[in-house]
Amino acid sequence: MMHDQIWTLLARRMANELLPEEEEELERLLQQHPDASYIKEVMMQPWNDRQKPFGPEEADQALERHKLRLESAMVAEEEPEAPSSGRKVRRMVFQLTGVAAALVFAFFIGRKWFAAPKPVAEEARLQLVTQKGSRSHIKLPDGTSVWLNAGSKLDYPKQFTGRKREVTLEGEAFFTVVKDENRPFMVRTKAFAVRVLGTEFNVRVYPQEDIAVASLVTGSVEVVLDEKQNRVVRLRPNEKLSISTLEQLVTTTTAKETVALRQPVKSRLTEVRDSVIAETAWVENKLAFKKMPLEKVVALMEQWYGADIRFKNENKKQLSFTAVFDKENLIDALKALELTGTFHFMQDADGVIWIE
């Protein structure tokens, strides 16, 4: 019973749960039973494990070796060389060391076997988020460069594993993909997926916008509209694919039933051969748009500058503008558009800008 109490207190000390009065009791018991002091030293020393995790076979082999050592110790304990009192003390020491070693071994194997770190493939994916008015650049584990536009989110793994490289995008990003013929690069969005081996392209899929766009600068990409039906559009340089993220209700009637399905509105493939391509100008810190309704220009400016812009006159939303802004701030950009004489703007005390 006394030794059980010593083991209990030693275990609480290892767990850093020993109370001050229990500490005093443990020291008193160790003084009364000096044979247990050696076990205390064995258990309380730091265990710095720098070895690789045990596998099931290695753990079994280590356990067998440990059993052999214990059996050898028990045989040595039975040798009739020491007086009976010495045998009694030695028996207690062997029993205690055997229990201590077994506990330490069980702790070691359990931590290495059952609490082994998860492989990289199972780790949580990393995430890069940009707020309105900010942009960011990152290099992925394979060396691919990604420029992330304002109000966007990119999910990617800590390390690419398997036969493909895959990321998930919400918002807008420009990719310069490192070529790897054995591992295609895939960008997944809510509207489509882009499959590529190595190229430069832009993807824009904001949740609040009803149009998703993929634009190709160099190389070749495949825009996967439907993987199950193998609906794929291949883009060439200076082409962009615009896809409506709105859904239309399509009704199909058969002899047995009428089925209503929601399907995306048709996509549109166009060429863009401007000196400054609006879809990728933002990578060079330029805000560019061509023949764009003021309503969408305002949405761009809200993302770009992190502003709040509203309309007092709804008729102004359909005005069309083409412009490229490099270092202009929000007010200077609005003043430049205001010079067309088609609208006026003002800013209230709360910082909200009104178009009238």
Every domain of the chain and the residues it spans: 2-114, 121-271, 286-355
CB 120 within 8 A of CB 274: no
The answer to whether residue 179 scores a pLDDT higher than 80 is: yes
- Tokens 């059980």 correspond to 4
The answer as to CATH 3.30.230.10 being correct for domain 121-271 is no
pLDDT of 335 strictly over 90: yes
Q: What is the pLDDT of residue 174?
A: 95
Per-residue pLDDT, 24? 77
Is pLDDT at 258 greater than 50 in this prediction? no
Least confident range from 83-92, 185-194, 292-301, 331-340: namely 83-92
- Sequence-distant (6+) residues with CB within 8 A of 149 are 130, 135, 171, 172, 173, 174, 204, 282, 303
Give the helix/strand (H/E) hosting 42.
helix 37-44
Longest dimension (CA), the chain: 113
Output the six-digit token pair for 41.
């030293």
Task: Report the distance separating Cα 168 and Cα 156, nearest Å.
Answer: 7
| pLDDT number for residue 244 | 82
Model's pTM, two decimal places?
Answer: 0.59
pLDDT of residue 18: 67
* pLDDT-above-70 percentage for the chain: 62
CA distance 190 to 28: 69
- Separation CA 66–CA 3 (nearest Å): 23
Question: What 3-state class would DSSP assign to 290?
Answer: strand
313-347 exposure pattern, b = at least 16 Cβ within 10 A, e = fewer: eeebeebebebebeeeebeebbeebeeeeebebee
Query: Which range among 6-15, 48-57, 174-183, 192-201 shows the weakest confidence by mean pLDDT?
Result: 48-57
pLDDT over threshold 50, residue 169: yes
Residue 219 scores a pLDDT above 60:
yes
Question: Which has the closest alpha carbon to 334: 306, 349, 314, 355?
Answer: 355
Query: Count of residues for the chain?
Result: 356
Q: Please state which CATH number belongs to domain 286-355.
A: 3.55.50.30
Q: What is residue 315's predicted lDDT score, i.e. its pLDDT?
A: 92
Torsion on CA atoms 26, 28, 33, 38, rounded to nearest 10: 50
Enter the tokens of residue 280.
């990728």
- List Cβ neighbours of 89 (8 Å cut-off, separation of 6 or more): 35
pLDDT band at 274 (very low <50, low <70, confident <90, very high): low
Report, as an integer, the average pLDDT of 324-353: 93
Angle between the N-to-C axes of helices 84-114 and 37-44, in degrees from 0 to 180, rounded to the nearest 10: 20
Beta-bridge partners for 68: none
pLDDT at 71: 59
